[in-house]
Amino acid sequence: MKKKQQHPGGGADPWPHGAPLGGAPPGLGSWKRRLPLLPFLRFSLRDYGFCMATLLVFCLGSLLYQLSGGPPRFLLDLRQYLGNSTYLDDHGPPPSKVLPFPSQVVYNRVGKCGSRTVVLLLRILSEKHGFNLVTSDIHNKTRLTKNEQMELIKNISTAEQPYLFTRHVHFLNFSRFGGDQPVYINIIRDPVNRFLSNYFFRRFGDWRGEQNHMIRTPSMRQEERYLDINECILENYPECSNPRLFYIIPYFCGQHPRCREPGEWALERAKLNVNENFLLVGILEELEDVLLLLERFLPHYFKGVLSIYKDPEHRKLGNMTVTVKKTVPSPEAVQILYQRMRYEYEFYHYVKEQFHLLKRKFGLKSHVSKPPLRPHFFIPTPLETEEPIDDEEQDDEKWLEDIYKR
């Protein structure tokens, strides 16, 4: 029986089958003396290959984990199938892309209050900043049934964020139907000026084409089309009396039936919604300041909007949407309108006061005066106000947008 080979330091020889090729490395003597204390360092070439393969798999798995923002889906499914805790149990959902705040904005635009201009700007900005501009093919249905409200809220809430939804529709209470309440924005204008703009636009259209009004109101009789505005007001035609004149407040009051009845209840509810649900309600007569505040409040949507609006090309195209053939009613007719629209004016002056207060906080100058006993009316020149249209599917929309593509 052979004796175990001994080395000078005592103990078993670390190289029982002979020293490695090339001889032992320098300092092997001291290393040999420590080796018996570390028997776990002995492994074969096969063990070494297995360790390296395991390390490679671990590195690849870690890389995949980081690139995909979390563990692979199949791993989560496997853990759930085996009954173990999943990544979602331990850490919550995997991180998603960082969304701007707010990432849900609704512009329930009031008709004939500059919305055509703002929508055109939004189309340009959505391409520039990459947010989701959600529009609707329904333009003239502002009052909805309960089921219609639920369906619309569901469609809006499932849109890809960040989104900005826009449509002519009265205020929707998302939280009533279990949805996340979005941030609202809107613009209003002097109520009589809004009424006059709508009255003449329905009859004679705007500068985009002489036949535009014929397309929009083909069933209007000639005597109705050329009805004098003073006669309409003084003779109390339905178009020039309530509830048709009670137009702006329902956009802020909401879908309740009482919101369509001129009175204190609708007025106070509209004010409450402005305070609680609207980030900004601007005044069309001060549109540049409205755009400036929107750019500060919602930069991920409106950054650069003022420079686009001031572009000479935009000014030139904006003139195309100015209502034509406007005439000023007589002082007597204006006074009657003012009395019929007293709730509209109380709301308008309230919003205007809040808007000027906001401007002062941001260092913007406002010429604030006490509300007059009767309103001061104006007929805007083409460069002062761009009139909106309700129908977003006009044939000339494409060439308007092409000019602004950056």
CA angle 34, 37, 40 (to 5 degrees): 115
* pLDDT score of 194: 96
pLDDT (tens digit, 9 = 90+) per residue, 9-39?
555 555 555 555 445 555 545 544 544 544 5
Active site residues per annotation = 168
Q: Is the pLDDT of residue 137 over 80?
A: yes
Q: What is the CATH number of domain 104-365?
A: 3.40.50.300
Please state, in angstroms and rounded to a whole number, the distance separating the CA atoms of residues 259 and 261: 6
- pLDDT tens, position by position, 275-308: 999 999 999 999 999 999 999 999 999 999 999 9
Question: Tens of pLDDT along 152-174?
Answer: 999 999 999 999 999 999 999 99
Note if the pTM is more than 0.75. Answer: no
76 contacts: CB under 8 Å, gap ≥ 6 = 86, 87, 88
By CB neighbour count within 10 A (0-12 exposed, 13-18 middle, 19+ buried), where does 181 fall? middle
State the pLDDT at residue 365: 76
Residue 319 to residue 152: CA distance in whole angstroms: 33
Q: How is residue 87 written in tokens?
A: 């990544």
The single-letter code of the amino acid at 215 is I
Main-chain dihedrals φ then ψ at residue 133, nearest 5 degrees: -90, 115
- 229 is written with which tokens? 């505005």
Q: What is the 3-state secondary structure (H, E, C) of 313-357?
A: HHHHHHHHHCECCCCCCCHHHHHHHHHHCHHHHHHHHHHHHHHHH
